[in-house]
Amino acid sequence: MTRSSPHAILPKHHSRDSVPPETVISDLSRWGDDRWYFENPTPGGYRASASVLWAFSLTAPRRVGNWRKEQQGEKFTDPTHAELLDSMRRLFWSLLTDNRVGKNMKPLTVAILGPGMVALVRWMVRNELTKISDLTPDACTVFMADLAADATRILDEDEQDQSGEDEEPEDTSASSDPDDEDPGKPMRRADGTSYNFAYNALSVVTYLFQQRDMFREAGIEPPAVPPLGNRSTSAAAAEIMERASVMVRPIPKEIAVKVMSTAVRFLQEPAEDIIRLQDLYLAARGWVSENGLPVSKQDSPEAVKVLRAFRFSQCVGEATPWRAPLIGKEERHGGRRAGRDLLRATPSQILPQLIDDVIGAAGIVIQGMSGVRISEVLGIEVDPDHPGPWPSYIDVRISATGVNEIFYLKSKVFKSTDSNRETEWLIGSRTLGSQVVPPIVHALRVIERLLAPWRQHSRCRQLFLTVKASRGLFSTPEAVRGLTGGMLLKAQRVFTAMYVKFDWKALPDTPLHQRLRLHGAWGLKSHQWRSTFAQFLYATDATSLSLLSDHFKHMNSAFTEQRYVGGNPSFLDYFKQARYSMTINTLREVASGHRPAVGGFAKLVQEHAASLISRDAATDPSVTSERLERLILDHDLRLWFFGHGKCGGAFRPLDALCHQETEPPAASRIGRDWEPNWARRRLSVCMRCSNWMVDPEHESSWQQTLSEATEKRAAHLGVSPPGVIEQLDHKIRQAQGILQVLESRGAVQRSADET
């Protein structure tokens, strides 16, 4: 049994004032070695899997094709970093031999922390933090943000690889034997994008504080307070990955406007031409019946003549047709590598590409002007037997004022829900009696008409279909199927490359423009339209946070703020103002009695109503707003908005139930810096907290809770244990109680208003 075996009694080298380099770590390693090797008790395991590398490069690997190659240069074992290196070695050895918060770790467990330690050390050196005591909560906030940014960047690189867009050949010189691993040789791309990677990096930070007594005994100053603040390691890692997975930068305004306006124009005369050309071509090909199903005939000379004879229209304001006739072969995008390669296409091959161009333009208009996810676009279904002037997936209603017609898109939400939930999105409006069709509605109807022949013959209900074969259009209905997200993204990129004239290389070298500057149209991501839509809306109306959250089908406004608009520093003022405005409006209406509310925080507001409401408020409501604005702005206070209620923890941080028994106490973080403890925050905790408040804005959430709990109770009754039924009964009573109180207080207020 070697000395590194988990069952051996290992000496506590970390407690010595100084540890000689020749101190034995295992049969294979000494304290001063460039790499520590422990015994690997797993049969068949590689020696390197139970090791910790110390002599790593302090420069992050550079990309070489699909590989990441370690840079030569300064290493962690260089004398300049001796103090930080000694602290890290003591930490890792103490986790094996003297863990102060649990059982001593096994060598494999300690080795797993190695990549996280590398990420932390590189970041510390880059930011000139030379001691572990430099890891303050503020520093770790920056570290978490940088981890999220790095993960986002790697995800971007991965997407380019998966699309075949990487221009550099794969480097095949990497060693396949981990025992022969050399930090100077090329290695596979470091993960950096997984929850485990973030968790391990943050675990090293956490252990540096948890082992603080060990460090003090060795004469080393540890972090003074928990570097992650009130967050648990798992919650902080989840936060990083959540940021990275959706931290999608918006498309720069100058590009977004040009792409969307080009797409809107393309869905006019060009799209009508393509629909007519397709109908003429299919009619010339003809249809035959096989096994009771219509099958389009293969290409024929007559069909090709139709393509060559067709003349395209002139767009409004243009003197020439929008494109040349399909006479012979021509080069265009749409080939392999996500459409980036140029095709040498015949007229029969160009027609399917033109159909894809219409699909790409429609996808841009729908996503860019509504912010819906690509899955929600592709989830739209057509009911061919639906009566009425509008398709089955569009609902038109008269506004409350009777002045406007409001258009809603009906589809399914596939994210943030256990099932594919039917829902709707506002997509446009027009004055009652007007014949103007909103752009999104027009785009949807163009796609339905374009793909109607294929939908009819294939009996496929999806609005968006793929009808393109390798050498033209499909001939059999079995081949027609619903479009995939990758296909729609490709169509959007090809459309942009073909029709949007833009000097991508002239874009500024900023993080917002960098991806597009490097890849042009192939740098566009479909989810960027969602973030772009959010930020356009904020630029127009900074108080629309809750409306946008509802439109995006998010569980709360905080998610919308942090994920879709918060990534753009230029919109921070909009955010702040939006939250301020929502807070001021809520407090004013609750304090004046115009908004019924229940909960501990509602009582607090009502108790202090006299100090918030001026005698002049009845005749001049602005007086109340001014007084509240001074209170909120002077103390930088804001409410947190959730689906089932509002949190006023920033006003009374010591009473926040989710922060009790945490270190440091919640009182140390107030105002703008205060936020709920995401690791402990649950609806059951919030409902017992004196900082919680529910008002009519949350009625729909509670009605949905009541409905779902009632359905689940019926399904579980007689099948599940009594405890499950009791929990559901409690949830039902809770929802009923909230709704009854809101209704009764609302009735009282309505009666008072009438009086």
Q: Extract the tokens encoding 143.
A: 């570290």
Co-location of 284 and 326 in the same domain: yes
With respect to residue 140, please indicate whether it lies within any of the assigned structural domains.
yes
Half-sphere exposure of 316 (CA within 13 A, CB side): 6
What per-residue confidence (pLDDT) applies to 752? Answer: 59
Q: How many domains does the chain have?
A: 3
Q: Which residues of 193-219 are buried (b: 16+ CB within 10 A; e: fewer)?
A: beeebbbbbbbbbbbbbbbbebbeebe
- Which has more confidence, 262 or 664? 262
Q: Indicate the pTM of the whole model.
A: 0.53
Co-location of 289 and 395 in the same domain: yes
Write down the mean pLDDT value for the chain.
Answer: 77
H-helix or E-strand spanning residue 332: strand 330-335
Q: Taking the mean position of all CA atoms in its chain, how far away is CA 492?
A: 20
- Which has more confidence, 250 or 304? 304
With respect to residue 206, please indicate whether it lies within any of the assigned structural domains.
yes
Please state which of the ranges 179-193, 219-233, 322-336, 370-384 shows the lowest mean pLDDT: 179-193
Q: Is 388 left (phi over 0), alpha (psi -120 to 50) or beta?
A: left
Determine contact, residues 490/337, Cβ cutoff 8 Å.
Answer: no
Co-location of 128 and 206 in the same domain: yes
- Which has more confidence, 56 or 662? 56
Reply yes or no on whether the pLDDT at 638 is more than 70: yes
Among 130, 134, 124, 136, smallest CA distance to 201 is for 124
Co-location of 161 and 293 in the same domain: no
With respect to residue 677, please indicate whether it lies within any of the assigned structural domains.
yes
With respect to residue 347, please indicate whether it lies within any of the assigned structural domains.
yes
The last residue of a domain, from among 523, 550, 581: 523
With respect to residue 534, please indicate whether it lies within any of the assigned structural domains.
no
Co-location of 156 and 195 in the same domain: yes
- Which has more confidence, 705 or 266? 266
Q: Extract the tokens encoding 459.
A: 């009996």
Q: If you write DSSP's letter for every residue of 109-137 in order, what string do you get?
A: HHHHTHHHHHHHHHHHHHTT--SGGG--H
Co-location of 216 and 167 in the same domain: yes
Range(s) of the domain holding residue 291: 253-523
With respect to residue 1, please indicate whether it lies within any of the assigned structural domains.
no
With respect to residue 102, please indicate whether it lies within any of the assigned structural domains.
yes
H-helix or E-strand spanning residue 236: helix 233-246
Co-location of 218 and 275 in the same domain: no
Query: Hey, which residues does 35 pair with through a beta bridge?
Result: 53
Identify the residue whose tokens are 């294939």: 458
Reply yes or no on whether the pLDDT at 365 is more than 70: yes
With respect to residue 191, please indicate whether it lies within any of the assigned structural domains.
yes
Determine contact, residues 171/69, Cβ cutoff 8 Å.
Answer: yes
Contact partners, residue 597, CB within 8 Å, separation at least 6: 590, 605, 693, 694, 695, 745
What per-residue confidence (pLDDT) applies to 659? Answer: 82
> How large a percentage of the chain has pLDDT more than 70?
71
Determine contact, residues 491/357, Cβ cutoff 8 Å.
Answer: yes
What per-residue confidence (pLDDT) applies to 78? Answer: 92
Question: What average pLDDT does range 721-725 have in this prediction?
Answer: 79
- Which has more confidence, 177 or 285? 285
Q: Which residues of 450-459 are buried (b: 16+ CB within 10 A; e: fewer)?
A: bbebbbebbe
Question: What average pLDDT does range 240-263 have in this prediction?
Answer: 78
The last residue of a domain, from among 229, 246, 263: 246
Question: What average pLDDT does range 351-371 have in this prediction?
Answer: 93
Identify the residue whose tokens are 């949350």: 698
Question: What average pLDDT does range 471-494 have in this prediction?
Answer: 83
What per-residue confidence (pLDDT) applies to 113? Answer: 92
Co-location of 493 and 581 in the same domain: no
Co-location of 222 and 277 in the same domain: no
Reply yes or no on whether the pLDDT at 294 is more than 60: no
Please state which of the ranges 213-222, 352-361, 366-375 shows the lowest mean pLDDT: 366-375
> How large a percentage of the chain has pLDDT more than 90?
26
Among 1, 140, 115, 133, smallest CA distance to 60 is for 115
What per-residue confidence (pLDDT) applies to 193? Answer: 52
What per-residue confidence (pLDDT) applies to 328? Answer: 86
Co-location of 236 and 277 in the same domain: no
Reply yes or no on whether the pLDDT at 480 is more than 90: no
d(CA 739, CA 655): 25
d(CA 617, CA 518): 57
Please state which of the ranges 16-30, 428-442, 616-630 shows the lowest mean pLDDT: 616-630
Co-location of 487 and 586 in the same domain: no
Co-location of 510 and 576 in the same domain: no
What per-residue confidence (pLDDT) applies to 337? Answer: 65
d(CA 245, CA 249): 11
d(CA 118, CA 183): 12
Question: Distance between the two ends of the chain, CA-based, in angstroms?
Answer: 88
The last residue of a domain, from among 246, 277, 298: 246
Query: Hey, which residues does 188 pair with through a beta bridge?
Result: 67
d(CA 227, CA 237): 14
